[in-house]
Structures are given as structure tokens and as C-alpha cells.
Amino acid sequence: MTCPKCNNQQCIKHGFACNNQRYLCKKCGYKFTRTTPRGKDENLKKMALKMYLEGLGFRAISRLLEVSHVSVYRWIRQMGEMPEIKDRPMNTKEIEIDEIHSFVGIKKNRDNLDMDSHL
């Protein structure tokens, strides 16, 4: 067992905390419990961001990476809030816009058109 504070190898058992074994570092006196690493690897999160920027949706990314779509959404939102991404100057010369279909006005019902043509 290594101390998370000073990386010393000389740690001894020092009771229990919430049914977890507690350890004491002989060098610095730090008390800690052994915890397993939580969360996903940063490389996986960067891969999710790359997939998102290539046009994949959250659910498609979650199926490919075998994680929750909510997790993918949170990762991308967190990366978008990072200061090194926000503060980049925009040097864009061209912008590509997808086709947007919209309708302004009133659509006539096809049945009404057929009745009017018979009269």
C-alpha cells in the first residue's frame, strides 16, 4: 500500500472507517482508506468529443463506447466550458451550414384542393 500524499511504501493498517480498512503512513502520518480509481479514462472522453465533432449523436457515441448517453453529454459540455477551448481566436474563412427546411404560411389540405377542382 502506498501513501497517496507522499508515495511512501511503509503504511500500516490503522482500524476501519465505514467498514473500509484504514491505513496510516509511517512517514507523514496521513490516514487514508484504499480507494479504487473512479470515472472513465481521459482518452475515452477525448474520443467521445472527436466523435461528436464528426457529427455523431450522443446516443450513437454511447453505443460505440458502451457508456451512458448522459455521461457523453456531460463530458462534451464540460470540455466546452474549458477555458483553453473558449479563449481560442476564431480564424474561420468558411462556414458550412446544413440545409434547413422551414415553411412560412398556411398549407392547404390536399383533400380541399381535390374538391375545389371538381366543382
List 16's β-bridge partners, or say none: 21
pTM: 0.48
Share of the chain above pLDDT 70, in %: 71
- How does pLDDT run across 31-50, given as a tens digit for each residue? 999 877 788 999 999 999 99
116 pLDDT above the threshold of 60: no
Answer with the residue of higher pLDDT: 31 or 119.
Answer: 31
Instruction: Identify whether the C-beta of residue 61 lies closer than 8 Å to the C-beta of residue 76.
Output: no
CA dihedral 70, 76, 79, 80 (to 10 degrees): -120
Instruction: Identify whether the C-beta of residue 34 lies closer than 8 Å to the C-beta of residue 23.
Output: yes
Angle, CA 118 vertex, CA 115 and CA 119 arms, to 5°: 90
Mean pLDDT rounded to a whole number for the chain: 82
12 pLDDT above the threshold of 70: yes
Count of C-beta atoms within a 10 Å radius of residue 83: 7
